[in-house]
A and B are shown apart, each in its own frame.
Chain A
Amino acid sequence: MDSAEPILSLKGIGKSFYGNRVLADVSFDVGAGEIIGLVGENGAGKSTLMKILFGMPVISETGGFEGSIYFNGKEARFKTPFDALDAGIGMVHQEFSLIPGFTTTENILLNRESLNSSVLVDVFGPRISTLDRATMESRAKSAIAKLGVTLDPNMLIKEMPVGHKQFTEIARELCRENVKLIVLDEPTAVLTESEAEVLLSTLRLLASEGIAIIFISHRLREVVELCDRVVVLRDGHKIEDFPAKGSSTKQIASLMVGRSMEAQAKIDAASAARSTQSDSDARETILSVENLWVDMPGETVRNVNLSVKKGEIFGIGGLAGQGKLGIPNGIMGLSPAGGSVVLNGTPVELNAPRAALERNMAFVSEDRRGVGLLLDEGIDWNIAFTAMQVQNQFLKPILGGLFLWRSDAAMSNLAEEYIKLLEIKCTGPGQRAGNLSGGNQQKVCLAKAFALRPDVLFVSEPTRGIDIGAKHLVLDTLKKYNSEYGTTIVMVSSELEELRSVCDRIAIVYEGRIEGILPHTAPIEDFGILMAGADRDETTVALVGGN
């Protein structure tokens, strides 16, 4: 649907956080009644772009952005999200921002209620007026009617099925008088297939009424089905902007994950060099996982089956929220889990971190500050604590072994050793972990795991939020540790490139299940398709092609 004047026009948008560039020269237009699919891997810059569009305070606090935004023909620089809402841009978030104990109507009109006029207003301000429930209900009903679905305006949100919550959110955006553009961030992620179908037809209906839509989704099939045009972001750049009609999910997926030729060649060369030494088929299985489910908020694992060979570096990839992080957290007993995990032929007790640790498995958590560190204690405590508690290291028996006395000197020595080995920049073993930089904190976490001398080491997002130099050091350390001690490493990461450069085999998780396992040498497009959850036929093709 073409329109003479675009509703929204982004021109040369760029943004860097603390010298770290996340968006560069992104431009595209959205016309009235047009549905734009905005796709890209995690970290491609989608959410930053939306933050800029909505004038989130975090943008101005970190030095503003480059380029300009034209909304409705005028240049727009929203200072707060409320300005954007007032101008007529609605946003439907990934998490529900609904009040559970309120009805549909109350949520749709949250803070925009219809009021009865009252003489008290002049003295006590407008908030003293009572709510005009009848008007509110009719306003809510008309907003719901625009959606083309039936919602009970008096039903409590907490009693609703998930799909209805999503519709309520959209109705809330529609209820504004002048809404012209709605941004939907992963609206179908929590919906069942049939609910998603209804949502898509609703969006088409809205578009036909002239409302422009930006649809952000990882479900590429839906993007192709729904959108008029697709904008692909990668590493902060706009890669492509093309009509959705006639394109395929495979094409979009490869655009999303595709690397520049040199980078690809470098990785391929590196992988090829390793492929000789990682002839994994012949080795025995050290860890096998069957029917694993893990209840980890935001990273639910529904059913995972995989086996890891002794001495290999096994990668687990996938997009955010698909469940890849749940796998190590479930196996290590940190999140409620079920199913079977067998290590060296003996089952591992689940939901018991100590049992997992005692079986000589170790875990470097993705949540450094929350799970990985004692921020208020020194580096020595952080590194030695787990080994002390699980393996009784750094303890001296006193009174004939009646008590175990903590040896601060031994802990300090250990810390010194790892500070040297991993080049941790600090004032000494006593420095509080909370005062270290992200990269150095990560090294402390690794040291903590190494101190356990594990047979299987789980590493989750080892390079998230740390600088390039530290990244290399961390990855090299892992590789070195793997080759020197023969430790089996299971590495979970959202950076495919990183996985391909380090791992022997890589499993891709989609919707809580393993979508496929590929050797690191497989073409990048195949990974892309698995990550985007291509339908089973295509997956099979990809797997065959990959091998």
Chain B
Amino acid sequence: MDSMKRFVADFGLPRIIITLYLFALFFAAPFVGVNLPASISDTMIRIGMNGIMVLALVPMIQSGCGLNFGLSLGVIAGLLGATISIEMGFVGAWGFGAAILISQVFGAVFGYGYGKLLNRVKGGEMMIATYVGFSSVMIMSIAWLILPFKDPTMIWGYGGTGLRTTISVEGFWRHILDDFLVIQIGENFKFPTGAILVFAAMSFLIWVFFHLKIGTAITAVGSNPTYARASGINIDRMRIVSVMMSTMLGALGIIVFQQSFGFIQLYEGPLYMAFPAVAAILIGGAGVNKATLTNVFIGAALYQGILTMTPSIFNAVLKVDMSDVIRIIVSNGMILYALTRKTKVAK
């Protein structure tokens, strides 16, 4: 009984409920006529789409900057990369590569400035990150209107000014990763090898990074900044590095997302991009200042699993689509839980 209690305390009741809920959905699926292989395939595609965005949160959590609600900044960098690549007329792998390359440059610049700002407001990062993210999205919305883009697939046909709200990447690099080495089993099951491979590769890079001298230093900064300072670490620099990494990963993440989704969403699209990623990593077991790759994998799988399974099961059983409401409750409930829990490292 005691070990049971400890398990509940360690793992957290909400997480247990979510896991059980997902299992229940999977068990129920065949009985209510939901196509299980298709659902699993869907889940895999979504993990490939969103995984890197979840991964992008790890560096900042590890360095003690908290949950990066300002991930939208990275998303903006990704959007800039994607649109500029299209404007330059690159297609296929070249276009995709160019998009990533350009987005990384923007990501680095944005991340540096953002990191500088966060260093001045230690302790209040999360709320400020949220609103800095929001206001940057709006600044960029103005920019999308007035930037001199010319490519006809991207600008409003006639009457309007500036870029369209959604731009199709069909004919550029739609599904370039999802279809790379794709494994098709039967009609309903498709394994997006490319996207998952890229996710795995990025995870590996992050793993490597946190085994390097600098990664170790960042972990120490997040664990106990005073200890790190007493060990001669420049805390502000480590935090900036982590914020830059997070922003750049966010930029990459949104491009991977777009190739699978098929569209680039401009204007207010990036506004709430950070929230699902934050919810996912918290569901995976991360805390406000401790996150591992396992948290990322479990979190992405559980969260995307719920997103895929909930609507299909509910539709089949109750003829009700409550998935939106359930998504809102689950993701924000999880964030709320993490915020109110007393963190192990005081501060």
Residue contact B213 to A371, C-beta cutoff 8 Å: no
Decide yes or no whether B220 CB sits under 8 A from chain A.
yes
**Interchain CB contact (< 8 A) of A374 among B211, B213, B220:** B220
Q: Which of B186-194, B225-233, B295-303 contacts A (4 or more CB under 8 A)?
A: B225-233
In the complex, the answer to whether B224 meets A334 with C-beta atoms within 8 Å is no
B220 cross-chain contacts in A, Cβ below 8 A: 374, 377, 381, 385
In the complex, which residue of chain B has the Cβ closest to the Cβ of A332?
Answer: B230
Question: How many angstroms between the C-alpha atoms of A358 and B233 in the bound complex?
Answer: 12
Q: Does A386 contact B (CB under 8 A)?
A: yes
Would you call A370 and B231 a contact (CB within 8 A)?
A: no
Q: What mask results when residues 475 to 509 of chain A are scored 1 for a CB within 8 Å of chain B, else 0?
A: 00000000000000000000000000000000000
Name the A residues within 8 Å of B213 (CB-CB).
Answer: 388-389, 392, 395, 404, 406
Known contacts A376-B223, A377-B223, A406-B211, A353 near B216 by CB under 8 Å: no
Report A348-380 CB contacts with B as 1/0, cut-off 8 Å.
000001101110000101010011111111000
> C-beta contact mask, B223-258 vs A, less than 8 Å → 1, else 0?
110110111111000000000000000000000000
B179-234 with Cβ < 8 A to chain A: 211-213, 215-217, 219-220, 223-224, 226-227, 229-234
* Nearest CB of chain B from residue A294's CB, rounded to whole Å: 15
Q: A353 and B232: CB pair below 8 A?
A: yes
Task: Decide yes or no whether A17 CB sits under 8 A from chain B.
Answer: no
Contact B290 A357 (CB under 8 A): no
Check B344 for interface membership: any CB of A closer than 8 A: yes
B345 within 8 Å of A (CB atoms): yes
Query: Which residue, B227, B229, B234, has most C-beta atoms of chain A within 10 A?
Result: B227
CA distance A93 to B217 in the complex (A): 41
Bound: A353/B344 CA distance, A: 26
How far apart are A334's CB and chain B's nearest CB, in angstroms?
6
Counting contact residues on chain A (CB < 8 A from B), the size range is 20 to 34
Q: Are A405 and B230 in contact (CB under 8 A)?
A: no
Write the chain A residue with the least CB distance to B290.
Answer: A376
In the complex, how many angstroms separate the beta carbon of B231 from the nearest chain A beta carbon?
Answer: 4
**Interface pair B226/A370, CB less than 8 Å apart:** yes
How far in angstroms is the closest Cβ of chain B from A492? 15
How far, in Å, is B196 (CB) from chain A's closest CB? Answer: 26
Known: A388-B216, A406-B213, A406-B216. Contact between A375 and B231, CB under 8 A? no
Number of interface residues of B (CB under 8 A): 21
Asked if A124 is at the interface of the complex by the 8 Å CB criterion, the answer is no
Determine if A354 and B232 form an interchain contact, defined as CB atoms under 8 angstroms apart: yes
State A363–B223 Cα separation when bound (angstroms): 19
Q: Contact check, A357 vs B212: say whether CB atoms are below 8 A apart.
A: no
Look across to chain A and name the residue whose beta carbon is closest to the beta carbon of B232. A354
A294 and B10 alpha carbons, distance in the complex (Å): 42
| Complex contacts, B217 vs chain A, CB 8 Å | 389
Asked if B229 and A372 sit within 8 Å, CB to CB, the answer is: no
In the bound assembly, the distance between CA atoms of A358 and B345 in angstroms comes to 28
Query: Which residues of chain B are within 8 angstroms of A18 by Cβ–Cβ distance?
Result: none
Q: Are B232 and A386 in contact (CB under 8 A)?
A: yes
A residues within 8 A CB of B229? 334, 353
Instruction: Say how far A299's CB is from chain B's closest CB, in angstroms.
Output: 15
B215 to chain A, nearest CB (A): 8
**Which A residues touch B231, using CB under 8 A?**
353, 357, 385-386, 389-390
Q: Which of A363, A373, A389, A390 contacts B224 (CB 8 A)?
A: A373
CB B214 to nearest CB in A, in angstroms, measures: 8
Provide the bound-state CA to CA distance between A395 and B290, in Å.
24
A330 → chain B, closest Cβ, in Å? 13
Which residue of A has the minimal Cβ distance to B229?
A: A353
In the complex, residue of chain B having the shortest beta-carbon distance to the beta carbon of A452? B231
Cβ contact within 8 Å between A365 and B230: yes
Cβ of B232 and Cβ of A403 under 8 Å apart? no
Specify which chain A residues have a CB less than 8 angstroms from the CB of B232 in the assembled complex.
353-354, 356-358, 386, 389-390
Given contacts A385-B220, A403-B212, A405-B211, contact A375 B230 (CB under 8 A): no
Within residues 309 to 351 of chain A, which ones have a CB less than 8 A from any CB in chain B? 332, 334
Binding site for A on B (CB under 8 A): 211-213, 215-217, 219-220, 223-224, 226-227, 229-234, 290, 344-345
A residues at B contact (CB < 8 Å) = 332, 334, 353-354, 356-358, 363, 365, 367, 370-377, 381, 385-386, 388-390, 392, 395, 403-406, 434
25 A-B residue pairs with Cβ-Cβ distance under 8 Å, sorted by A, are A334-B230, A353-B232, A356-B232, A357-B231, A365-B230, A370-B224, A371-B226, A371-B230, A372-B230, A373-B224, A373-B227, A374-B227, A375-B224, A376-B344, A377-B219, A381-B220, A385-B216, A386-B230, A388-B213, A389-B217, A389-B231, A389-B232, A389-B233, A390-B231, A405-B212
Which 6 A/B pairs are nearest by Cβ-Cβ distance? Answer: A354-B232, A386-B231, A404-B213, A357-B232, A374-B223, A371-B226
Excluding A376-B345, A386-B232, 20 further A-B contacts by CB distance (< 8 Å) are A332-B230, A334-B226, A354-B232, A358-B232, A363-B230, A365-B230, A370-B224, A372-B230, A373-B224, A375-B345, A376-B290, A377-B219, A385-B227, A388-B213, A389-B231, A395-B213, A403-B212, A405-B212, A406-B212, A406-B216
